[in-house]
Chains A and B, each alone.
Chain A
Amino acid sequence: MPKTDVNELIAGPVAPGVPKKNPIVVADGVTRSFGGFTAVNVEHVEIPANAITALIGPNGAGKTTFFNLLTGFDKPNEGRWTFLGQQQYGVPAHKVARRGMVRTFQLTKALNLLSVIDNMLLGAPQRAGERFFASLVPSIWRQQEESLTEKADELLKKFKLDAKREDFAGSLSGGQRKLLEMARALMSDPKMVMLDEPMAGVNPALTQSLLGHILDLKKEGMTVLFVEHDMHVVREIADWVIVMAEGRIVAEGSPDTVMDDPAVIEAYLGAHHDTDLGDVRGQQEIAKDMESDLIKHEIEEEIEEEAADGR
């Protein structure tokens, strides 16, 4: 799946809050504070449709809180946002999911004592057999159940979980749980998938297959927004990157250029206030965290120069 060209995504000069040609989410003035601490303060942001957008930033930047706000798991102090043109402020989490915006969690939430297949079926927007009285009459829901089971089996096969079909989800490994959570979210044919650190704690072999699955989502016409710390992953699959720091959107841009934005450098430096910046090694540490080639390059040159001087 080729990356979408940046010029096809944005409708204006690259800057925080740049308007998109085809936005799926448009948020304005979203703030959330816990006591005196403002966790999220987003003036304006648009998330492009049918693209993979990465949300990055140092720890405590408010990425997960912003996720929770968009998906209805938390209520903002102020703010408005739309999803597919519909107002979505104050919509409860389960209705957000029914509208087509589904999410996964940073700490994977596999339903341990349900079988893998039951986990999958729970993800389907099944209406008939989920009502109290209708559930007592199998003839009402059996047919729907069968077609959903078929769909679930297909997804399990695709995610290579078909061998685990009848096992308790609690018996899966950490990486398999991430796969299950993603497959389960797809049961509802969502329009937008929000992944909170999909690669955290996943071994390198599974990372590749997870990346492939995320790219497939885009191929199938879905929009992906994901939080990630691993910059290799972001470079590899993201079409667009949004950088948060201290609750605000500080930069946006293509994955190749955004890490060289001075605002991003400042944001990551702010998060490393306890490293010694007088020491090139300290600077190198930050560069490593940011995965910025430009800075890394500069520092490496500096180290070389110092070494030459020392001689």
Chain B
Amino acid sequence: MDFNFIPLAFGEAISPTTAAYALATIGLVVHFGFTGLVNFGQAGFMAIGGYAFVVTSLQFHWPLPFAILATIVCSVIFAFLLGLPTLRLRADYLSIVTIAAAEIVRLSVKTPELTGLTGGATGLNGGAEDFQALNPFPNGQYLGPLHMTASDLWAAICGWALVLLACLLVWALMRSPWGRIVKGIREDEDAVRALGKNVFSYKMQALVLGGVLGGLAGALFILPRSLQPDNYGTQLTFFLYTIMLLGGATTIFGPLLGAAIFWVVLSLSDGLLSLAVTNHILPITSTQQGPIRFIIVGLALMLLVIFRPQGILGKKAEVFFRA
């Protein structure tokens, strides 16, 4: 039996994809964990970011800094589009609008009329070329048994640096009076309004911040792969929710830990299942094996919210005193 998949699965913990998931989840923590905005469309922010990055650099030949700037600007615009009509309403309206908007983005970029720009249903290849041109590592395999390529290593280093930067930013915000206001809004926005704070403005700021983190995560996500519209389906948002609840919804480092565990478990169960299938231990086919690992993820999420609703890094009291 081949157990090569085990070190590779643990290698997933530091892969650039995991960094992208962690970054998008930090955005979600700003929305859901700290401000109480139920955003079910973080995949939409990732799609906006990914497309803004790839389309500007590949189709418009913008240099890398401008492509990154475009990613940020497009995420900000998307956040305003979602927030302006909904943030004055009750919390549930935002979740309805965001889940729909994310699907609108995914289906819009797939339309044949936009194929010249977005690549249609097949997506776009080579969005990371400008980024990889800056790669200081020579070709080869790195990190021993992980067999990481030079381009993956470069993407992972930049990705995790960005994640740590985002952690620092969110930490600095949440210990400040600004953070106190958004946490107050999560608890009861009318009370905060009665104390003279412009609740709408703070909710918008939080939505923009989390959205920009989601957009940058979208750009980070396509570095090791091509841009595919169907990567940004609703399931992506729910993976991010799983990661967030796993790590702890009101923690700074929860998303990092959650993303690492999520990907390691996903790859490990995939490896174990394929081992079991090829050796005829389990009575299932290899096509059934793919969905089964997501069933395992779903089951794990259910057990998690029942037995440890505060997540791995969260405080138990926070669940106890939730109104």
Contacts and interface: CB of A to CB of B under 8 A. Distances in A.
Interface of A: 71, 73, 92-95, 97-98, 102-105, 109-114, 118, 121-123, 125-126, 128-132, 135-136, 138, 141, 145, 168, 170-171, 184-185, 187-188
A131 B184 CA distance: 15
Given A93-B193, A112-B323, 15 more contacts: A73-B190, A94-B199, A103-B194, A105-B190, A109-B191, A111-B191, A111-B192, A121-B177, A122-B192, A125-B196, A130-B197, A132-B209, A135-B173, A135-B178, A168-B317
Contact of B194 (A71, A112, A126, A135): A71
Q: What are the 4 tightest A-B residue pairs by CB atom distance, in nearest-first order? A: A170-B321, A97-B196, A135-B178, A135-B176
Contact of B184 (A111, A136, A145, A168): A111
Given A114-B180, A135-B177, A141-B176, A94 B188 contact: no
Interface of B: 169, 172-173, 176-181, 183-184, 186-188, 190-199, 205, 209, 317-318, 320-323
Contacts of A126: 177
Contacts of A187: 195
Nearest to A190: B196
A113 B187 contact: yes
18 contacts: A92-B198, A98-B196, A105-B191, A109-B188, A111-B183, A111-B187, A112-B321, A113-B322, A114-B180, A114-B184, A118-B183, A126-B177, A128-B177, A130-B177, A135-B173, A141-B177, A145-B177, A185-B194
Nearest to A145: B177
Contacts of A92: 198
A136 B187 contact: no
Most buried by A among B188, B191, B205: B191
A131 B178 contact: yes
Given A93-B193, A114-B187, A136 B321 contact: no
A130 B183 CA distance: 12
A135 B172 contact: yes
Nearest to B193: A93
Given A109-B191, A111-B187, A168-B321, A188 B177 contact: no
A122 B195 contact: yes
A224 to B, nearest CB: 16
B206 to A, nearest CB: 9
A110 B195 CA distance: 12
A171 B321 contact: yes
Nearest to B320: A170
B198 A136 contact: no
A127 to B, nearest CB: 9
Contacts of A135: 172-173, 176-179
A98 B194 CA distance: 9
Given A94-B193, A102-B194, A132 B184 contact: no
Contacts of B169: 136
Nearest to A109: B191
Contact of B321 (A113, A125, A188): A113
A116 B80 CA distance: 33
Contacts of B184: 111, 114, 118, 122
A105 B194 contact: yes
A118 B192 CA distance: 12
Most buried by A among B181, B193, B318, B323: B193
Contacts of A71: 194
Nearest to B186: A113
Contacts of B187: 111-114
A123 B191 CA distance: 10
A129 B191 contact: no
A122 B190 contact: no
A250 to B, nearest CB: 28
